Structure 1
Amino acid sequence: MAIISLTTDWQHRDYYLGALKGRLLSICPDAQLVDLSHNVDNYNISQASFIIKNAFIHFPKGSIHIIGVKSEETPEHPHLAVKYQDHYFIGADNGIFSLVMKGDPQEIVRIENTEKEAQFLTFPELNIFSKVAAHISKHNSLAGLGPTQKSLYRLVPIRALIQKGTITGQVIYIDSYGNVTTNISKELFESMNQKREFEILVQSNHYRITKINKNYFENSEGDFLALFNSSGLLEIAINKGNLAELLQLDINSDIRIKFHDH
């Protein structure tokens, strides 16, 4: 039985998701369909990649992941099927694969041998991705889908900046609670910390956090807090509150950590 996950920016309002699920169940009647997220901001491959990267690792090997975000094929960004860590990913080669995958894929195939239906040319998830998923489900292989490709189109994620005892990072993800995840990793923080006192500065110098929590409940309701989340990245939040809304934080908002020598 194939497990097929779906990530899109359709947000449940349109018929697209229902049509795709119907097509998948018609050609893969034994498939188990799993919704990762359909609330991705329109065309936001950075947000989609964060969701997929942190979710797929908990799926059984051999799972198939359809990426329906910025999925239109262009001459520069063809449709690909990619095998990585014994999982299969289907989408457009627009940089999203490179953001999901830390190392090199096991196999990259350009999708060229799948029959296209003229009436669905603007709907690649239905027209192409569903059929590719069915092929992989049946053969547990990318063979026959098209020619192999050596590398992926790469996007370089924004890195935290280290300068004069300060880490300057950016917000890379905001969850439905308004908690913000930054690109500051636990490893980077610990390499700079060296048991020194520190201040996490949110919105310039107006809001300061001086400790790292292990759990949200360590602070009273309404208090600001910082912790390293399950992604191993620094998260800033308000216990039982919406930090992003309160402070009008957005993707790429700066978060700084200043370390102080004794």
Structure 2
Amino acid sequence: MAPIMTVTTDFRDVYPAIMKGVIMNIAPGTNIIDITNTIEQGNILQGAFILKSASAYFPPGTIHLAVVDPGVGSKRRALVIKGERYTFVGPDNGLMIPAAREQGEFKVFEITDPEFYTDHVSPVFHGRDVFAPAAAFIAAGKEVPLSGEILDYIEIDPGKEKVADRSIYGKVVYVDGFGNMITNITGETMSGIYDYGDKIKINGSPSKFVKAYHEGSEETAIALIGSHGMLEIAVNLGSASKALSINAGDEISIEPIRGNTY
């Protein structure tokens, strides 16, 4: 079976294709699948959330190449993470750790020679010159120059929701292509406080807690537990982000409505 490699970046266009060209030169036949190249630029937390959400659905042995790297050119380390099911390649900024932890035990190693593939490593494009070659060498069954296991890798803190009485406070981690807002409020927290059909306020706007998108109207935002297992704010056939003027990174509150009609 051809090796499988995923790509997750904030590069938008052009640059992911260049990385794939490097990969195909080293490991021809690799099955390369984009998770996304539209992470909000420099948003490590968003990239970590998407990588964690998507990576677990791939077959064992998949190599996950992830580059959201606002620290490129600095002294931050380049990592290879070897886990029970997957290998991750990318920068030491917390991007890959939530996904690595999700799939079981793992060990973290530093790439000790960033010029193992090329004599001219650009300080601004490690995706092409360091991470893509390392991922490709692994796919081809070749050695990558690695340190011994390191334990002081960077972790990322997505923050936790806060609960006061029946009010929940969190933030929007990601806005998807439909305009749905995925929050850092867990489904367990939401369903532990509210029942389906309960009337609520989302940042002061009347809403309700439902099971599925079709239960909402095209004008009013609804709250539901999304496929990620997190509380999601949506508008049926519309954009919740636009409707409520809330974007990724913004604070969000869920509060009960008592005695009012929806």
- Global fold match (TM > 0.5): yes
Q: Is the 8 A contact 1:201 1:255 kept in 2?
A: no
Q: Which residue of 2 aligns with 1:111?
A: 111
User: Is residue 31 from structure 1 mapped to residue 30 from structure 2 by the alignment?
Assistant: yes
Q: Which moved more, 1:54-63 or 1:155-164?
A: 155-164
Q: Describe the SS at the equivalent of 2:160.
A: coil
Q: Is the 8 Å Cα contact of residues 107 and 148 (structure 1) preserved in structure 2?
A: yes
2:229 matched to which residue of 1?
Answer: 232
Provide the identity percentage: 27
1:47 deviation in Å?
1.3
Q: Structure 2 CA distance, aligned partners of 1:222 and 1:198?
A: 18
Unaligned runs of 5+ in 1: none
Letter of the aligned partner of 1:186 in structure 2?
G
Aligned match for 1:134, one of 133, 136, 151: 136
Q: Which amino acid aligns with 2:223?
A: A
**Residues 173 and 182, structure 1, Cα contact 8 Å, conserved in 2:** yes
2:206 corresponds to which of 208, 212, 229:
208
Which letter maps to 2:200?
Answer: I
Q: Equivalences for 1:25-64 in 2 at 5 Å?
A: 25-64=24-63
**Contact 2:111 2:145 survives alignment (8 Å):** no
Supply the distance in 1 between the matched residues of 2:119 and 2:91 (Cα, whole angstroms): 19
Q: What does residue 79 of structure 2 align with?
A: 80
| TM-fit CA distance, 1:135 | 2.6
Partner of 1:251: 248
1:138 alignment partner AA = A
Equivalent residue letter for 2:110: R
**What SS does the corresponding residue of 2:159 show, helix, strand or coil?**
coil
Deviation at 1:3, TM superposition (A): 0.7
- Secondary structure of 2:214's aligned partner: helix
Greater shift, 248-257 or 62-71, is seen at 248-257
For the 8 Å contact 2:217–2:235, the answer to whether it is kept is: no
Q: 1:214 to 1:3 in 2, by over 3 A?
A: same
The 8 Å contact of residues 61 and 87 in structure 1, kept in 2 or not, is answered as yes
Q: Deviation at 1:97?
A: 2.3
Contact 2:48 2:94 in 1 (8 A): no
Distance 1:248 1:224 in 2: 11
- Greater shift, 26-35 or 214-223, is seen at 214-223
Indicate how the Cα distance of structure 1 residues 30 and 139 shifts in structure 2: closer, same or farther if over 3 A, else same: same
CA distance in 2, matches of 1:197, 1:240: 20
- 1:192 equivalent in structure 2: 193
Evaluate the alpha carbon distance shift between residue 223 and residue 261 of structure 1 in structure 2; reply closer, same or farther with a 3 A threshold.
Answer: closer
**Per-residue deviation, residues 153-200 of structure 1 (Å, max 9, x unmatched):** 11221110111332112111111111111111111123334x598543
**Alignment RMSD, CA only?**
2.5
Distance 1:129 1:154, change over 3 A: same
Counterpart CA distance in 1 for 2:207 and 2:244 is 14
Say if 2:137 and 2:144, in contact at 8 Å, map to a contact too: no
98 and 200 in structure 1: CA distance in 2 versus 1, 3 angstrom threshold: farther
2:88/2:100 contact within 8 Å kept: no
| Residue ranges of structure 2 left out of the alignment (5+ in a row) | none
Q: Deviations over 1:96-130 (max 9, x none)?
A: 12343446741111101451534332321221212
Distance 1:253 1:215, change over 3 A: same
Q: Deviations over 1:59-100 (max 9, x none)?
A: 01111111121162533x200000234111111111212343
Report if the CA contact (8 A) 1:202-1:254 is conserved: no
